[in-house]
């Protein structure tokens, strides 16, 4: 028998494949998951090549120990996507391919359970008639089980356990009572006549929406679209209509819809399920890091087997295996959340465009404030721009933007109350009297960013980071937002004993407290990362807002984008000025996008909306453009500045970061790396800047520094980075290092 060898990618920081002998009864195939010995461990890898020979000596060659034959091989297109990501972002193929899979597939011991036939159950007529009355009034978990059985054709045991931890024993009891029966889960057929009909009358599209839908629906092959629509213009409706046309024309097609944050997925999922109610159960799945491992694995497999027609997800969903993928939508494409900031530092938006080109399909990038990179592509004619200039709801106009000059308020003797200017307080009270809702935006959580002593100048800091500890008053704690260190609030200054230590600055907790005092009778709700730590809490809080049980909503960027608050007519913005003077050249772009997005929460249901921004710099060009709702003017002027300064998107960047036990060690590593870069081919076309410490130089007792590289040629930069990898791997002296291509934070 002729030996067969396979070359396997494993999740290791190495740019090589590993040879193994393949002697199992199942035939090998490229794209199969296998279990292989690696060092002293058994790991899961991915077959990338099959060969008849190997250069590994026979005494060192090891054998594949198991194969996941139940999982269909990953397609050549998916492997090409992983290969591109590895090459472009300077990582090993295994570092891209394996982490993109759900954890259950990366653990060979779980394969048998993952692919075992799961028991399913369904209600029988006796159960449908008797079960509701037989349950105790307060048995909420049992009632959820009964409701799920009544709503679905069948209910799997794993889904049932997510509703009630004792679902297995409960089903045994209900089986004995004759209320339910075992059900065979069959793969749903999707004949052409079962195309996704619409469950409710479709909203009437505006002329602009109709033109956008037609352009997307009529696209053939690779077609990148920028859907530039003002807030509330109905971009989601364009997505829904375009996908309905696609799925009706191609009953086997799949679509991928990306959203920037987990808390936006529930409302998107509800809209898609309502619109495509005729699709079989399980044809719409979500994919994000907040899912339980079992649910994520099931959803991934549904996409991999083309059972899922629509996948809604955050950035990790761009690496989902979807063999029938026919359209990609990236909502809020400008959002920095699409850029992974650890591990494989990829941009999901950029990979979406590459994947669409690879598969020769349309990709829609939607935003009210497109990233300047995307805007530049549209200006150059590489992307087709589709524009929605007005709001979709009849009589709903864009809100009026008003600037509150804090310096003028001070000069006129109009005192603010804990950072809230008089005009904003008066506007909040007026909305409360009219029964309307208000939103106050401050992108800083906690009670106060600083706790200090006036007597000696002591400031509460994190002992493990070069950062201040944030005061969290409700929890009576000081907390570091970088490493998680936490301590009780001291009763006096640790340095001089002064008991008059006081908070400086304001976070959302302090604003919440102030609003409750200055707007009596108002129901104030805070939504930020602290108030939404428990699973499902964010959705519950947003439901309270939509139900009208909140008068004033206070929050961070979590409330700024994507949410359709129908009763909000006033938006107040606090402390936006700090971003005007950031060292990051992208700060103004992000601030304009952030303020536009949060402003867009006002006046969405026909009631006049108003936005009040507190600032000491009302004549700043950014604020002036915002009052005119002039994104185009802002984008073009900012692009011109970037061009003059030779900044992205007119040049391409990469960043080498090093982490060491001391700052000197990190800087020394980067200086050696720069010296090793100079002799490389093409290095003369790349500018290498001096190594510098990061703004927050120490995190969790690790010191960090960076080295910026820049080139007018993407190809030259990429070639140099590839040649640089062996040099970097040969250097010692630091704990970790990583190369980030197209960094967002410079």
What does the alpha-carbon distance between residue 55 and residue 16 come to, in Å, rounded to a whole number?
A: 14
Q: State the residue for tokens 């009909």.
A: 197
Average pLDDT along the chain: 91
Please spell the DSSP secondary structure of 210-242, one letter per residue: HHHHHHHHT--SSEEEEEEE-TTS-HHHHHHHH
**pLDDT for the residue numbered 185:** 53
Least confident piece of the model among 447-451, 528-532, 551-555, 603-607: 603-607
Domains of the chain, CATH where assigned: 4-114 (3.40.1440.60), 126-183 (no CATH), 192-388 (3.40.50.300), 400-447+506-641 (3.40.50.300), 652-741 (3.30.70.260)
| Between 118 and 313, residue with greater pLDDT | 313
Calculate ∠ Cα 209-255-333, nearest 5°: 60
**pLDDT for the residue numbered 468:** 95
Residue 282 has pLDDT above 90, yes or no: no
What does the alpha-carbon distance between residue 326 and residue 255 come to, in Å, rounded to a whole number?
A: 6
Q: State the residue for tokens 């000025």.
A: 577
Q: In 3D, which of 264, 590, 611, 666 has the Cα closest to residue 441?
A: 611
**How sure is the predictor about 195, in pLDDT bands with cuts at 50, 70 and 90?**
very low
What does the pLDDT look like over 395-421, one tens digit per residue? 678 899 999 999 999 888 877 888 899
**pLDDT for the residue numbered 199:** 45
Max avg pLDDT among 14-18, 305-309, 356-360 = 356-360
Q: What are phi and psi of 177, to 5 degrees?
A: -80, -10
* SS3 assignment for 308-333: CCEEEECHHHHHCCCCCEEEEEEECC
Please spell the DSSP secondary structure of 678-737, one letter per residue: TTSTTGGGSEEPPPEEEEEEEETTEEEEEEEEEES-HHHHHHHHHHHHHHHHH--S-SEE
User: Can you tell me the mean pLDDT for 438-448?
Assistant: 95
Residue 198 has pLDDT above 80, yes or no: no
Residue 671 has pLDDT above 70, yes or no: yes
Beta strands in 41-107 (DSSP E): 41-51, 66-67
Residue 181 has pLDDT above 80, yes or no: yes
Residue 485 has pLDDT above 90, yes or no: yes
What does the alpha-carbon distance between residue 266 and residue 642 come to, in Å, rounded to a whole number?
A: 37
- 78: CB partners within 8 A, 6+ apart: 31, 321, 323
Instruction: Return the SS3 of 403.
Output: strand
Least confident piece of the model among 240-249, 603-612, 692-701: 603-612
**pLDDT for the residue numbered 196:** 43
What does the alpha-carbon distance between residue 473 and residue 734 come to, in Å, rounded to a whole number?
A: 38
Query: Is there a contact between 402 and 611 (Cβ–Cβ < 8 Å)?
Result: yes
**How sure is the predictor about 189, in pLDDT bands with cuts at 50, 70 and 90?**
very low
The answer to whether the peptide bond before residue 649 is cis (omega within 30 degrees of 0) is: yes
What does the alpha-carbon distance between residue 673 and residue 684 come to, in Å, rounded to a whole number?
A: 15
Instruction: Return the SS3 of 621.
Output: helix
**pLDDT for the residue numbered 645:** 95
What does the pLDDT look like over 492-532, one tens digit per residue? 999 999 999 999 999 999 999 999 999 999 999 999 988 88
What does the alpha-carbon distance between residue 333 and residue 318 come to, in Å, rounded to a whole number?
A: 13
Q: In 3D, which of 424, 616, 402, 593 has the Cα closest to residue 511?
A: 424
Q: What are phi and psi of 435, to 5 degrees?
A: 75, 20
Q: In 3D, which of 304, 297, 305, 294 has the Cα closest to residue 158?
A: 294
- 563: CB partners within 8 A, 6+ apart: 264, 267, 542, 545, 601
List the strands of the sheet with 477-479, edge to edge: 470-472, 477-479, 486-488
What does the pLDDT look like over 296-347, one tens digit per residue? 998 999 999 999 999 999 999 999 999 999 999 999 999 999 999 888 999 9
Known binder of ligand: residue 493?
A: yes
Known binder of ligand: residue 48?
A: no
Q: Which two tokens stand for residue 499?
A: 């008991």
Cα–Cα distance list, 183 to 123, 284, 343, 520 (Å):
9, 22, 43, 57
Known binder of ligand: residue 68?
A: no
Known binder of ligand: residue 483?
A: yes
Global pTM reads: 0.88
Least confident piece of the model among 266-275, 389-398, 705-714: 389-398
Q: Which two tokens stand for residue 398?
A: 């864009």
**How sure is the predictor about 136, in pLDDT bands with cuts at 50, 70 and 90?**
confident
Q: Estimate to the nearest angstrom the gap between the alpha carbon of 432 and the chain centroid.
A: 34
User: Can you tell me the mean pLDDT for 645-654?
Assistant: 96
**How sure is the predictor about 540, in pLDDT bands with cuts at 50, 70 and 90?**
confident
Residue 138 has pLDDT above 80, yes or no: no
**pLDDT for the residue numbered 121:** 87
Q: What are phi and psi of 693, to 5 degrees?
A: -70, 155
User: Can you tell me the mean pLDDT for 620-626?
Assistant: 96
């Amino acid at each position: 028998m002729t030996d067969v060898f396979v070359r396997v990618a494993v999740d290791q920081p190495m740019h090589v494949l590993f040879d193994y002998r393949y002697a199992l009864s199942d035939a090998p195939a490229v794209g199969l998951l296998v279990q292989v010995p690696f060092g002293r461990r058994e790991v899961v890898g991915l077959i990338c090549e099959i060969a008849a020979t190997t250069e590994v000596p026979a005494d060192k060659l090891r054998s594949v120990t198991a194969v996941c034959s139940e999982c269909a091989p990953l397609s050549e297109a998916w492997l090409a996507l992983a290969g591109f990501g590895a090459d472009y972002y300077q990582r090993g193929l295994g570092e891209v391919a394996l982490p993109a899979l759900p954890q259950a597939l990366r653990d060979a011991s779980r394969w048998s359970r993952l692919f075992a036939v799961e028991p399913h159950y369904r209600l029988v007529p006796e159960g449908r008639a008797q079960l509701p009355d037989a349950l105790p009034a307060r048995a909420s978990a049992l009632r959820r089980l009964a409701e799920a059985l009544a709503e679905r054709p069948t209910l799997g045991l794993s889904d049932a356990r997510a509703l009630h931890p004792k679902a297995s024993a409960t089903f045994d009891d209900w089986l004995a009572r004759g209320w339910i029966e075992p059900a065979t889960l069959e793969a749903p057929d999707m004949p052409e006549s079962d195309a996704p009909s619409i469950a409710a009358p479709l909203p009437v599209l505006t002329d602009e929406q109709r033109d956008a839908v037609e352009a997307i629906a009529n696209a053939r092959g690779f077609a990148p679209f920028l859907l530039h629509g003002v807030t509330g213009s109905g971009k989601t409706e364009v997505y829904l209509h375009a996908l309905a046309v696609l799925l009706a024309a191609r009953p086997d097609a799949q679509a991928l819809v990306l959203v920037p944050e987990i808390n936006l997925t529930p409302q998107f999922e509800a809209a898609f399920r309502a619109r495509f109610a005729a699709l079989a159960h399980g044809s719409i799945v979500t994919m994000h890091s907040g899912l339980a491992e079992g649910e994520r694995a099931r959803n991934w497999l549904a996409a991999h087997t083309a059972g899922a027609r629509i996948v809604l997800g955050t950035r990790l969903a761009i690496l989902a295996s979807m063999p029938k993928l026919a359209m990609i939508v990236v909502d809020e494409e400008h959002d920095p959340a699409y850029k992974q900031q650890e591990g494989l530092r990829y941009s999901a938006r950029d990979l979406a465009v590459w994947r669409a080109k690879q598969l020769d399909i349309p990709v829609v990038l939607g935003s009210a404030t497109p990233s300047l990179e995307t805007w530049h592509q549209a200006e150059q004619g590489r992307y087709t721009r589709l524009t929605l200039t007005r709001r979709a709801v009849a009589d709903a106009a864009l809100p009026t933007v008003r600037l509150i000059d804090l310096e003028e308020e001070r000069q006129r003797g109009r005192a603010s109350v804990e950072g809230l200017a008089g005009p904003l307080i008066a506007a909040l009270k007026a909305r409360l009297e009219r029964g309307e809702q208000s939103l106050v935006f401050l992108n800083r959580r906690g009670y106060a960013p600083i706790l200090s002593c006036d007597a000696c100048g002591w400031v509460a800091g994190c002992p493990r980071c070069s950062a201040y500890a944030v005061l969290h008053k409700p929890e009576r704690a000081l907390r570091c937002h970088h490493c998680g260190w936490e301590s009780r609030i001291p009763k006096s200054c640790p340095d001089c004993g002064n008991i008059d230590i006081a908070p400086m600055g304001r976070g959302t907790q302090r604003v919440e407290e102030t609003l409750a005092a200055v707007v009596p009778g108002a129901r104030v709700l805070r939504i930020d990362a602290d108030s939404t730590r428990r699973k499902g809490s964010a959705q519950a809080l947003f439901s309270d807002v939509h139900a009208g049980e909140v008068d004033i909503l206070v929050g961070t960027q979590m409330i700024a984008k994507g949410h359709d608050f129908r009763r909000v007519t006033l938006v107040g913005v606090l402390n936006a000025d700090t971003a005007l003077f950031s060292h990051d050249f992208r700060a103004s772009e992000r601030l304009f996008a952030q303020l536009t997005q949060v402003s867009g929460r006002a006046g969405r249901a026909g009631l006049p909306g108003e936005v009040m921004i507190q600032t000491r710099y009302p004549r700043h060009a950014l604020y002036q453009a915002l009052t005119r709702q002039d994104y185009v003017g802002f984008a073009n002027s900012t692009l011109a500045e970037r061009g003059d300064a030779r900044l992205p998107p007119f040049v391409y960047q990469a960043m080498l970061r090093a982490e060491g036990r001391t700052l000197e060690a990190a800087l020394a590593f980067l200086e050696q790396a720069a010296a090793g870069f100079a002799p490389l081919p093409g290095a003369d076309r790349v500018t290498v800047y001096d190594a510098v410490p990061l703004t927050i130089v120490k995190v969790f007792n690790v010191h960090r520094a960076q080295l910026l590289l820049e080139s007018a040629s993407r190809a030259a930069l990429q070639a140099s980075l590839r040649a640089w990898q062996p040099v970097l791997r040969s250097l010692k002296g630091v704990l970790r290092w990583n190369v980030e291509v197209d960094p967002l934070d410079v």
